[in-house]
Amino acid sequence: VGPGDDAAVLSTGADEQLVVTTDVLIEGTHFPSGSRSDLIGYRAIAVNLSDIAAMGAEPRFLTVALTLDQIDDEWVKGFAKGIAFCASKYGVKIVGGNIARGALSLAVTAIGVVPTGQCLLRSTARIDDDIYVTGTIGAASAAVKDGVKVPPLELNELWSRRVDDMSCRYFMPLPRVQMGVALRGLASAAIDISDGLMADLGHLTRSSGVGAEIELDRVPVWKSMDAEIAIEASDDYELLFTAPAKEAERIAEMAVRIGTDITCIGKVTAGESVAVNGEVGRIDSPKGYRHF
Amino acid sequence: VGPGDDAAVLSTGADEQLVVTTDVLIEGTHFPSGSRSDLIGYRAIAVNLSDIAAMGAEPRFLTVALTLDQIDDEWVKGFAKGIAFCASKYGVKIVGGNIARGALSLAVTAIGVVPTGQCLLRSTARIDDDIYVTGTIGAASAAVKDGVKVPPLELNELWSRRVDDMSCRYFMPLPRVQMGVALRGLASAAIDISDGLMADLGHLTRSSGVGAEIELDRVPVWKSMDAEIAIEASDDYELLFTAPAKEAERIAEMAVRIGTDITCIGKVTAGESVAVNGEVGRIDSPKGYRHF
């Protein structure tokens, strides 16, 4: 059943659970006004895939609802290209769509599957677990500060630069889909870093009823970025996860196998506070982190 | 897994297909500015359930993404009450949510299940099928023309008036969930009437590659409404469906059994035109209906 019908019809097998996530992205809030529509589309898909990845699920299906002030054919064509491009890179099918008139915004729903009982939650971290993060932190936010100066290239070209070129990191984050799947049965808890490492670590520790201690000098920062800035930088969509210390070796091997860098940046602790140990001294539960 | 996680985890059995629909509702476009938030919430859920009903599926799960200019606790509380109220009336679970800052709008995703291969499509009407519609047409649009003067009553009170009180019909449409399920194996095609009877009949006939002939004096209109106005009135969320003439008796019995009025208003025809036979003479494919 194609997008023309009232709704999408999806087949599922037994022994599986569905993982569903909806995100809304609004011009001016979730992406800069006047951005390229293909990049807006790419990003909208990628950030939803990241949510599915954080659950340890395999993304399968997407629906996209678009609201637009006025129908601009070129804009819509670019947008359609961007969502299709990203979806195809991750083997996900766009099964439904919707266009309405209104201020520019998108609502994307992603649906994934995971073997029953194996999904990763943010609420199941255990005291003394190691805390890991994928990739590096800070590039997307640095790109935003720099005005997101994406070179005027085709999607394919930008895609090949997405890892190393800071300007691509905002619109082309790297949803850690393979890592999420590989962490099933290994990680004790996971979350994606959309709000910033400290903010999302706060979400995870609060949900789990634990605290955390982070070593600032271990945080894998984008190039020469200041770690204190990087841990508060948003929009990276890296995975933050916890795992028992006894799994350290298996996790390290798995990360090498799938070719994704991971870094152990600290420990889950008893209590409620998130402490950051760093060169500037110990920052214990700074005020800004109270209201996660 | 509750709404606090990155995504919702849903269980499904085998032999089932999922039906997923996403709708965006924007203040000023899809509901009047300054509307009661509980009613906005109710309607957002109801219209999505209607999409699921039109597919012959049973609605199960909902996700709701809200964008708001500013967080007004009372507003959000009312909204939450409205979506929960409607969801509970139809036995559907809200499994995920999201609040972001932006112009007031909602994105609702509804997920339903249907036995594999039994869902109702809009593209499968056959020549000579009867064309039916549920309930009556025109009340919601009449309510809008009247300024949607909903009495200042609690949701429960309004709900008990939703069938007979015109003012309630806009915010509390009647998604035909039971009817959709009962039409599996009986109807040849179905669609819900959100854009208007003629508009959505046009969607159905175009998808099916057929025409239609409607008897204006058979259209079940709201009270003494003019049928020519009623067939173009939007927001009713009644079901429009087609079925082979040989199923007429079974369909009539089923409708009595589930207590939903249905009316046969015409026939599927060969060709592409939608003809309306009425007192004012035969209106053959009026211009306004060309661009469905």
Dihedral, CA atoms, B29, B31, B37, B41, nearest 10 degrees? Answer: -100
pLDDT digits (tens, 9 = 90+) for B80-133: 999 999 999 999 988 887 788 888 888 899 999 889 889 999 999 999 999 999
Domain map of chain A by residue range?
Answer: 16-115, 130-155+163-285
The alpha carbon of residue A194 is apart from the nearest alpha carbon of chain B, in Å, by: 11
Phi, psi dihedral angles at B239 (to 5 degrees): -95, 135
Query: Region A58-72: what's the mean pLDDT?
Result: 88
Find residue B21's DSSP bridge partners.
B110
Chain A residues with CB under 8 Å of B20 CB are: 7-8, 10, 61, 63, 95-96, 109, 111
Q: What angle do CA A77, A80, A84 make, to 5 degrees?
A: 140
pLDDT digits (tens, 9 = 90+) for A181-207: 999 999 999 999 999 999 999 999 999
Could you give the angle at which helices B73-89 and B37-54 cross, rounded to 10 degrees?
30
Determine which helix (DSSP H) or strand (DSSP E) holds B282, and give its type and residue range.
strand B281-284
**CA dist., res. B83 & res. B75, Å (int):** 12
- For the record, the structure tokens of A23 come out as 């995100």
Rama region for B225: left / alpha / beta (φ>0; ψ in -120 to 50; rest): beta
**CA dist., res. A262 & res. A259, Å (int):** 9
Going by C-alpha positions, the residue among B28, B25, B34 that lies closest to residue B67 is B25
Find residue A66's DSSP bridge partners.
A99, A106
**CA dist., res. B285 & res. B274, Å (int):** 5
Amino acid in the structure at residue A166: M
Strand A105-115 and strand A58-68: the pairing is antiparallel
The span from the first CA to the last CA of chain B, in angstroms, equals 41
Q: So what's the pLDDT on residue A9?
A: 61
Q: Does A44 touch chain B (CB under 8 A)?
A: no
**CA dist., res. B28 & res. B168, Å (int):** 18
Q: Which comes out higher in pLDDT, residue A100 or B221?
A: B221
Q: What angle do CA B223, B229, B235 make, to 5 degrees?
A: 80
CB spacing of B6 vs A21 below 8 angstroms? yes
pLDDT digits (tens, 9 = 90+) for B252-288: 999 999 999 999 999 999 999 999 998 755 555 443 3
Q: Is the model's pLDDT at A76 over the cut of 70?
A: yes
Q: So what's the pLDDT on residue A10?
A: 62
Q: What is the CA radius of gyration of chain A?
A: 19
Optimal mutation site among B1, B5, B241, interface A, most CBs of chain A within 10 A = B5
Q: Residues 3..42 of B with a Cβ closer than 8 Å to A: which?
A: 4-14, 16-24, 26, 28-30
3-state secondary structure B155-171: HHHHHHHCCCCHHHHCC
Q: Is the model's pLDDT at A278 over the cut of 90?
A: no
Longest dimension (CA), chain A: 59
**CA dist., res. A276 & res. A68, Å (int):** 43
CA distances (Å), A264 to each of A166, A200, A216, A249, in order?
A: 23, 16, 11, 12
Q: Which of A11, A17, A29 sits opposite B10 (nearest CB)?
A: A17
Q: Which of B7, B23, B100 sits opposite A55 (nearest CB)?
A: B7
Phi, psi dihedral angles at A262 (to 5 degrees): -130, 155
Find residue A9's DSSP bridge partners.
B19
Q: Does A291 touch chain B (CB under 8 A)?
A: no
pLDDT digits (tens, 9 = 90+) for A140-185: 999 999 999 999 999 999 999 999 999 999 999 999 999 999 999 9
Per-residue pLDDT band at B171 (split at 50, 70, 90) = very high
Sign of CA dihedral A180, A130, B10, A64: negative
**CA dist., res. A232 & res. A49, Å (int):** 22
Q: What is the mean pLDDT of chain A?
A: 89
Query: Region A100-120: what's the mean pLDDT?
Result: 88
Q: So what's the pLDDT on residue B289?
A: 39
Rama region for A209: left / alpha / beta (φ>0; ψ in -120 to 50; rest): left
Q: So what's the pLDDT on residue B104?
A: 87
Share of chain B above pLDDT 90, in %: 70
Closest Cα in chain A to B21: A7
Find residue A110's DSSP bridge partners.
A21, A62
In the three-class reduction of DSSP (H, G, I as helix; E, B as strand; rest coil), residue A111 is classed as: strand
Per-residue pLDDT band at A289 (split at 50, 70, 90) = very low
Rama region for A238: left / alpha / beta (φ>0; ψ in -120 to 50; rest): beta
What is the DSSP track for B8-60? Answer: EEEE--SSEEEEEEEEEEEBTTTB-TT--HHHHHHHHHHHHHHHHHHTTPEEE
Q: Is the model's pLDDT at B18 over the cut of 50?
A: yes
Q: So what's the pLDDT on residue A14?
A: 67
- For the record, the structure tokens of B240 come out as 């429009």
Determine which helix (DSSP H) or strand (DSSP E) holds A25, and give its type and residue range.
strand A16-26
Sign of CA dihedral B211, B217, B223, B226: positive
pLDDT digits (tens, 9 = 90+) for B198-250: 999 999 999 999 999 999 999 999 998 999 999 999 999 999 999 999 999 99
CATH of span B130-286:
3.90.650.10
pLDDT digits (tens, 9 = 90+) for A4-50: 466 566 666 668 888 888 888 888 888 898 899 999 999 999 999 99
Amino acid in the structure at residue A232: E
Per-residue pLDDT band at A210 (split at 50, 70, 90) = very high
Other C-beta atoms lying within 10 Å of the C-beta of residue A81: 16
pLDDT digits (tens, 9 = 90+) for A234-263: 999 999 999 999 999 999 999 999 999 999
Q: Is the model's pLDDT at B292 over the cut of 50?
A: no
Query: What superfamily does domain A130-155+163-285 belong to in CATH?
Result: PurM-like C-terminal domain (3.90.650.10)
**CA dist., res. A39 & res. A45, Å (int):** 10
Share of chain A above pLDDT 70, in %: 90
CB spacing of A5 vs B55 below 8 angstroms? yes
Query: What superfamily does domain A16-115 belong to in CATH?
Result: PurM-like, N-terminal domain (3.30.1330.10)
Judge contact between B42 and B172, C-beta under 8 A: yes
